[in-house]
A and B are shown apart, each in its own frame.
Chain A
Amino acid sequence: MAPVTAPQKKTLGKVLVIGGCGFLGHHIVDLLLESYKCTISVLDLRTTRNRRPDSDNVQYFDSDITSLSSILPIFEKIKPDIVIHTASPVAVGESSESKAKLRNAMYKKVNVDGTQCVIEACQKTDVKGLVYTSSASVISDTETDLVNADERWPVVPAKNQKEYYSTTKAIAESHVLAANRSPTSPSLLTCAIRPAAIFGEGDVQVIPGTLSAYTTNKTGFQLGDNNNLFDFTYVRNIAHAHLLAAYALRVTSQTSIAPLDHEKVDGEVFIITNDQPVYFWDFARAVWKAAGNQKGTEHVWVIGKDVGLVLATVVEWGTWLVGRDTPFKRRIVRFSSMTRYYDCSKAKRRLGYRPIVSLQEGIQRAVAYWLEEQKSEGEKKGQ
């Protein structure tokens, strides 16, 4: 792929990527290395996976963001100009009540408390810009459609939010935004990126979830009428948006004049999509196709949303009675038949954002990676 920027690479100074060994985080590190002039440090809970070779001069620090005392020394050592905070646990549904409780506690601890610590560390070490990875799900209650939603759409308050994960992301986002030019540390500029349904190489949700239907031979079902549009965003585009935002914060911080309201990046949120919404099941079929599926849609059995909800209720109770778990849940029926797409023009206008990898190309890359992983796993098992 061509580098993002023109021959002249943009300068970002000292950049610290929190969660830089995670799914999104390591793509951000890759893009920084390719397209920006900067020194890179990574802070993560474990820095063994997704690590760049030593020759790239990326510094890795093992640390836990939920403890200010353990991250502060790292901040003081690096003295970053820009902090990109992408660390977040993977959002998954849990089958049992007690497990769900534990997981929710962890969401709060990492997303809310952890982000608080990061903000504080930024303020104490005179960081210029903090870019926070929020989520487009903060404006979705998981049931109501989102039709071409943009940043004017309200954040779903905790009482109406059915995914606790999204609640914690929303709270963290509000803390980050409140820290922008705060009276006590006016020099810290912040903004939040809200990616919509992120997928790519190494993702553990969208691509594996979609492909599990293919590998278990369930491509013959369609829930809902498939007129529902959805945004799926390739990880590299989201990484790109983060760096555009980081650069904008750095430029703002270096100029003495405050930006005009309609050009402002600091204190703002940005929805990021591939700018290519697509019909929900068409995306799934494109993914299956990339994995080798030859079938058309002749064999597909369409189950209406309402019928699907009833069926799923029955299945959920049935499997609960026999003490098992099922992938066929009401939550899945709702998800796959709802409309959920966004308008990312604010990011286009203010950040100059344009997706750098198309949806088609993104699917190719992500599925190729997944197939490769499956192969090596199979080899391991074979040994």
Chain B
Amino acid sequence: MGLLRQLLYFSVHPNQLRSILQWKIWHDPVHTRDPKKESATLQECFKYLNMTSRSFSAVIQELNPELLVPVALFYLILRGLDTIEDDMTIPLETKEPLLRNFQHILEKDGWTFDGNAPTEKDRELLVHFDVVITEYKLVKPQYKAIIADITDKMGNGMADYANNAEHNVNGVNTIKDYELYCHYVAGLVGDGLTRLFVESKLANPALLKRPELAESMGQFLQKTNIIRDIKEDLDDRRRFYPKEIWSKHVDKFEDLFDPKNIDVALNCSSEMVLNALRHADECLFYMAGIKDQSVFNFVAIPQSMAIATLELVFRNPEVYKKNVKITKGDACQLMMDSSTNLRTVCEIFKKYTRRIHKKNTPKDPNYLEISIACAKIEQFIESIYPTQDPKKLSLIHAGEIDPDVEKKKAQDSEAKKDVFFLLLAVVGTLLVISALMIGAAYLAGARFDVAFNEIKKGMIFPKLDNGSEGPQTIVDQHDHGEL
């Protein structure tokens, strides 16, 4: 966007500008990493983190110091794996063993890889992967074990997909395949992170007993990205929408992009949104298990972005033309609101859920199912933050509380408070101004001691008659009969 266009945009969307400025000015990270205390190789690692990640690098760098380095390295390692998997120019004979043995590669000092195509965006990371390995070796063994385990599982999962000719030609077939794919690339990350959080005692160990919650965290993000990126993926000749879903709406996958099929194409993407939306309540449930503020922000920000993105792509014809993104202002607002507590994040989910519900149309074959999915999120939020209290309702019925009287009482006390604060403000202002004036007078040389002594003698009003004689004669001089 050109500067002029940006100016124009913000002049009609002041809220967007306000959010961006607020985030820039007021955002106060829970923790800030200190590059001065870091080794040269670790600083290099963070350089690559900034290069390879748009959305995660900021939240990672604000993490609790205990987890900052392990999580950053975990990200870089998986990104490295992903860069090998993604690159279609690497022959399968080279690719497969790399993917399957990546957890052992992590132990090889000085290992680097320059087999990526020059166009591969994250090529540099693998060219300098030795810095990641150096730092990985310094990580606490319990964290290393978790990272290695997930790397092993993800590498093998990716190798299976790379091996699967069918997948490469036709994309994903069934919803089950689709979810398995999302499990390998995202669900496993959720699993690994959860184990890191619990190991560092920053999350409730109960999360390990409910692995489906961490899985949902990953699935929700990955599915949202897949829905949003459909056009970009098509241009890269990849397709992740499962055939089981799109074939209900069109005969050929490419037909989704034909403007004359827009109605069915929207029904297809809304079915994909429905599928993703069903994870939302488990994501909220998961976040209730996080104990540390920085970890909470780390998990909550991407989730809030995801629900907002889902709302944006829902019944939006633009997704078939370009990669739609939430505006920068909205993103800042979401980051700000998500860096607080679960209750606020629930409010965000409720807000976007209701927007999805509003856009839902009976013409959609999944109309009722979408409505039910939205309602389920609302019901879940209600179950953790109830708005009604049965005990209070009983008292109302018993006549012990009159709801109107209660309301009035609350209003009255609120009004009393208001008056109190108003008076406080007035008196305070007066005091401050008086102090300033007295102070200014004192600095200017006023003799308060003299004034005080005079007052003590009972002379409250200054005697003007003595001093007024002089001037009066001067006035008289100029005043003789000229008028």
List chain A residues, Cβ under 8 A from B363: 294-296
Contact of A278 among B368, B393, B394 (CB under 8 A): B368
Q: How many angstroms between the C-alpha atoms of A283 and B386 in the bound complex?
A: 24
Question: How far does the Cβ of A292 sit from chain B's closest Cβ, in whole Å?
Answer: 12
Question: How far does the Cβ of B369 sit from chain A's closest Cβ, in whole Å?
Answer: 7
Question: How far does the Cβ of B404 sit from chain A's closest Cβ, in whole Å?
Answer: 13
Question: How far does the Cβ of B454 sit from chain A's closest Cβ, in whole Å?
Answer: 68
Task: Say whether B379 faces chain A, with CB atoms less than 8 Å apart.
Answer: yes
List chain B residues, Cβ under 8 A from A277: 372, 375-376, 378-379
List chain A residues, Cβ under 8 A from B379: 148, 229, 277, 341, 343
Q: Are B372 and A285 in contact (CB under 8 A)?
A: no
Size of A's binding interface in residues, CB under 8 A: 34
**Contacts of A345-375 to chain B: CB distance below 8 A:** 359-360, 363
Question: How far does the Cβ of B391 sit from chain A's closest Cβ, in whole Å?
Answer: 8
Q: Are A286 and B390 in contact (CB under 8 A)?
A: no
B371, B379, B382, B398, most chain A CB atoms within 10 A: B371
The 9 closest A-B pairs by CB, nearest first: A282-B371, A154-B394, A152-B390, A148-B382, A286-B368, A296-B361, A285-B362, A296-B363, A153-B390
Q: How many angstroms between the C-alpha atoms of A146 and B389 in the bound complex?
A: 10
| Chain B interface SS verdict (over half) | helix
Q: How many angstroms between the C-alpha atoms of A360 and B364 in the bound complex?
A: 13
Q: Are A279 and B393 in contact (CB under 8 A)?
A: no
Q: Are A282 and B360 in contact (CB under 8 A)?
A: yes
Q: How many angstroms between the C-alpha atoms of A343 and B376 in the bound complex?
A: 11
Contact of A289 among B367, B369, B388, B398 (CB under 8 A): B367
Per-residue contact bits, chain B 162-195, to A (CB 8 Å; 1 contact, 0 not): 0000000000000000000000000000000000
Binding site for A on B (CB under 8 A): 354, 357, 360-363, 367-369, 371-372, 374-376, 378-379, 382-383, 386-388, 390, 393-394, 397-398
Question: How far does the Cβ of A234 sit from chain B's closest Cβ, in whole Å?
Answer: 13
Question: How far does the Cβ of B152 sit from chain A's closest Cβ, in whole Å?
Answer: 37
Chain A residue at smallest Cβ distance from B365: A289
11 new A-B pairs (CB below 8 Å) besides A278-B368, A295-B363, A296-B361? A147-B382, A148-B383, A150-B390, A277-B376, A277-B379, A278-B371, A279-B374, A289-B367, A296-B362, A341-B375, A359-B368
List chain A residues, Cβ under 8 A from B388: 145-149, 153
Q: Are B375 and A157 in contact (CB under 8 A)?
A: no
Q: How many angstroms between the C-alpha atoms of A357 and B368 in the bound complex?
A: 14
Q: Are B375 and A295 in contact (CB under 8 A)?
A: no
User: What are 30 A-B interface contacts by the 8 Å CB criterion?
Assistant: A145-B388, A146-B388, A148-B379, A148-B386, A148-B388, A149-B388, A152-B390, A153-B393, A154-B390, A154-B394, A160-B397, A229-B378, A276-B375, A276-B376, A277-B375, A277-B376, A277-B378, A278-B371, A279-B357, A279-B371, A279-B374, A279-B375, A282-B360, A282-B367, A294-B363, A296-B362, A296-B363, A297-B361, A341-B375, A343-B379
Task: Say whether A57 faces chain B, with CB atoms less than 8 Å apart.
Answer: no
Q: How many angstroms between the C-alpha atoms of A377 and B201 in the bound complex?
A: 69
Q: How many angstroms between the C-alpha atoms of A157 and B394 in the bound complex?
A: 10
List chain A residues, Cβ under 8 A from B378: 229, 277
Q: How many angstroms between the C-alpha atoms of A152 and B390 in the bound complex?
A: 6
**Contacts of A43-87 to chain B: CB distance below 8 A:** none
Q: How many angstroms between the C-alpha atoms of A285 and B372 in the bound complex?
A: 13
Q: How many angstroms between the C-alpha atoms of A289 and B376 in the bound complex?
A: 22
Q: How many angstroms between the C-alpha atoms of A236 and B370 in the bound complex?
A: 23
Question: How far does the Cβ of B281 sit from chain A's closest Cβ, in whole Å?
Answer: 13
List chain B residues, Cβ under 8 A from A279: 357, 371, 374-375
Chain A residue at smallest Cβ distance from B390: A152
List chain A residues, Cβ under 8 A from B362: 285-286, 288-289, 293, 295-297
Task: Say whether A326 faces chain B, with CB atoms less than 8 Å apart.
Answer: no
Q: Are A359 and B367 in contact (CB under 8 A)?
A: no
Q: Are A276 and B372 in contact (CB under 8 A)?
A: yes
Q: How many angstroms between the C-alpha atoms of A148 and B374 in the bound complex?
A: 15
Task: Say whether A303 faces chain B, with CB atoms less than 8 Å apart.
Answer: no
Task: Say whether A227 faces chain B, with CB atoms less than 8 Å apart.
Answer: yes
Chain B residue at smallest Cβ distance from A345: B383
Q: How many angstroms between the C-alpha atoms of A322 and B400 in the bound complex?
A: 44
Task: Say whether A244 faces chain B, with CB atoms less than 8 Å apart.
Answer: no
Question: How far does the Cβ of B365 sit from chain A's closest Cβ, in whole Å?
Answer: 10
Q: Are A227 and B382 in contact (CB under 8 A)?
A: no
List chain A residues, Cβ under 8 A from B383: 148, 343
Q: Are B382 and A360 in contact (CB under 8 A)?
A: no
Contacts A160-B397, A229-B375, A341-B379 hold; do A285 and B386 have CB atoms under 8 A apart? no
Question: How far does the Cβ of A347 sit from chain B's closest Cβ, in whole Å?
Answer: 15
Task: Say whether A156 faces chain B, with CB atoms less than 8 Å apart.
Answer: yes
**Contacts of A148-191 to chain B: CB distance below 8 A:** 148-150, 152-154, 156-157, 160
